[in-house]
């Protein structure tokens, strides 16, 4: 069940200082999820959560997570820079990228982070651009479908990520020749599942793979990365993942494979961005307009630039109206933004209480892949982010974009007024100087 949002009084207090739309993060909820994860895997002394920066790349959120003992998983040059700036150092940073540039590898090696290679061809590419470290991870893709029982959980064979089973020993032997002394394995085979069987099944595959490769290649393994994939209950009635049970089942698999093979200790790590921050944020928007044509529409001051998942995936996000949480759901609305795209809808045919102009409409579970997937189509500007502490205090941790930001990267434009009126540089009209 999606988490209850802050009260209307608290939201109005925030809105009085920070206009809608904004993403509102619950610091206490984020800390509680990290604590639950760490307790579930406390049996493994090397356990670390490498929070997926892509989910919520905000400096204040990363600082909160660092204080909780988390590392970070980065996928790009900029995420590496952000993580380093927030004090994550060395192997507290894992770099899991694909189609990786030379510039990114050189920065990763300069920072001394733990590199997770996505492709066998990247071995020589990394050797030429930064050099091969003594410890490295390999991303594994078994191909085919990933099943739990008779249910298909994911289709790794269609994914662009990872090395094939045949490539893994070849890669390990080549890396050993280049000086690697210890290896890690990483895999991501299912997304956003609350099924408690996912991590244990994945762990068995990766633990056994490490045992087999250790024997075949005479290689030492120091880390198994179960990656992300544990999801959250976006819809009412969906179950929540039982981390305690999941951690216990992964421990059983560890005992049956790693310990039985005499390979203990091996660190077991995770990258649970969505699980940690996803349910602990809300997109708060204001109802601007009603439109009654072939359907009833409610238009918000937020749009897909603030939360892309419904438009991109048809993803469900629970919606409540502040102060009307217990009111009857006796109206059916399409809840929309203002983009010139018909898929700019947060909900279609959604039963809701009557929504009046000026109501605060709250979209739940926006703490991961919400603000971070924002963009500027139609010249729309990305919203602010706000952190709510347990004592009720709040602070803006990212301001909303302004027209000045929008024009800042356009050659020849200079914003000279507070209202954001752009002036065109005469050079743009000069075909000689512009050639």
Kindly state the tokens that stand for 414: 């200079």
Which secondary structure element, helix H or strand E, spans residue 394, and what is its range? Answer: strand 394-398
Query: DSSP states of 102-127 as a string?
Result: HHHHHHHHHHT-EEEE--TTHHHHHH
As to burial, measured by CB atoms within 10 angstroms (0-12 exposed, 13-18 middle, 19+ buried), residue 356 is: exposed
Q: What angle do CA 200, 202, 208 make, to 5 degrees?
A: 100
Q: Report the pLDDT value the prediction gives residue 426, as an integer from 0 to 100.
A: 44
Q: Report the pLDDT value the prediction gives residue 433, as an integer from 0 to 100.
A: 37
Per-residue pLDDT, averaged over 243-257, amounts to 98
Q: Closest Cα partner for 338 from 375, 309, 298?
A: 298
Kindly state the tokens that stand for 8: 């209307």
Kindly state the tokens that stand for 296: 């009833």
Q: Report the pLDDT value the prediction gives residue 194, as an integer from 0 to 100.
A: 87
Mean of the per-residue pLDDT values of the chain: 93
Give the percent of the chain with pLDDT over 70. Answer: 92
Whether residue 353 contacts residue 333, with contact meaning beta carbons closer than 8 Å, is answered with no
Domain boundaries, the chain: 15-278, 403-435
Judged against a pLDDT cut of 60, whether residue 421 lies above it is answered with no
Per-residue pLDDT, averaged over 205-211, amounts to 97
Better pLDDT: 149 or 117:
117
Q: Report the pLDDT value the prediction gives residue 144, as an integer from 0 to 100.
A: 65
Kindly state the tokens that stand for 329: 């759901």
Q: Look up the CATH architecture of domain 15-278.
A: Alpha-Beta Barrel (3.20)
Per-residue pLDDT, averaged over 16-23, amounts to 98
The CA distances from residue 167 to 120, 122, 139, 198, 364, in Å, are 7, 12, 11, 24, 42
Per-residue pLDDT, averaged over 40-55, amounts to 98
Judged against a pLDDT cut of 90, whether residue 431 lies above it is answered with no
Backbone angles phi, psi at 390, to 5 degrees: -65, -30
The pLDDT confidence band at residue 389, using thresholds 50, 70 and 90, is: very high
Give the percent of the chain with pLDDT over 90. Answer: 84
Judged against a pLDDT cut of 60, whether residue 416 lies above it is answered with yes
């Amino acid at each position: 069940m999606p988490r209850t949002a802050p009260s209307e009084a608290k939201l109005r207090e925030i809105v009085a200082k920070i206009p809608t739309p904004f993403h509102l993060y619950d610091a206490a909820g984020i800390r509680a999820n990290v604590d639950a994860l760490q307790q579930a895997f406390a049996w493994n002394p090397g356990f670390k959560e490498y929070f997926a920066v892509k989910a919520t790349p905000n400096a204040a959120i990363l600082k909160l997570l660092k204080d909780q003992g988390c590392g970070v998983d980065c996928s790009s040059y900029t995420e590496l820079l952000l993580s380093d700036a927030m004090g994550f150092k060395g192997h507290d940073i894992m770099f899991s990228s694909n189609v990786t540039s030379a510039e990114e590898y050189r920065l990763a090696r300069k920072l001394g982070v733990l590199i997770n290679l996505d492709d066998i061809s990247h071995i020589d590419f990394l050797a030429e651009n930064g050099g091969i470290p003594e410890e490295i991870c390999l991303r594994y893709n078994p191909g085919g479908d990933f099943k739990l029982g008779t249910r298909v959980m994911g289709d790794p064979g269609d994914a662009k990520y990872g090395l094939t089973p045949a490539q893994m020993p070849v890669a390990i032997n080549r890396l050993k020749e280049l000086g690697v002394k210890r290896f890690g394995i990483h895999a991501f085979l299912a997304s956003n599942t609350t099924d408690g069987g996912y991590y244990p099944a994945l762990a068995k595959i990766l633990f056994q793979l490490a045992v087999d490769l250790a024997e075949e290649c005479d290689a030492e393994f120091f880390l198994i990365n179960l990656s992300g994939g544990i999801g959250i209950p976006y819809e009412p009635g969906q179950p929540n993942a039982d981390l305690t049970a999941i951690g216990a089942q992964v421990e059983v698999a560890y005992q049956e494979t790693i310990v039985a093979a005499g390979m203990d200790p091996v660190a077991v790590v995770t990258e649970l961005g969505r699980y940690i921050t996803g349910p602990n944020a809300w997109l708060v928007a204001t109802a601007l307009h009603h439109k009654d044509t072939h359907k009833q529409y409610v238009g918000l001051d937020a749009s897909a630039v603030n939360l892309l998942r419904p438009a991109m995936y048809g993803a469900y996000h629970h919606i409540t109206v502040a102060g009307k949480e217990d009111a009857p759901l006796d109206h059916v609305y399409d809840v929309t933004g203002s983009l010139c795209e018909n898929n700019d809808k947060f909900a279609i045919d959604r039963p809701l209480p009557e929504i009046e102009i000026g109501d605060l409409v709250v979209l739940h579970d926006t703490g991961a892949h919400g603000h971070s997937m924002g963009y500027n189509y139609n010249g729309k500007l990305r919203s602010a982010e706000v952190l709510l502490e347990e004592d009720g205090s709040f602070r803006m941790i990212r301001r909303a974009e302004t027209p000045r930001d929008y024009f800042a990267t356009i050659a020849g434009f200079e914003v000279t007024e507070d209202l954001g009126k752009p002036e065109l540089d005469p050079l743009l009209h000069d075909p000689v100087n512009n050639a």
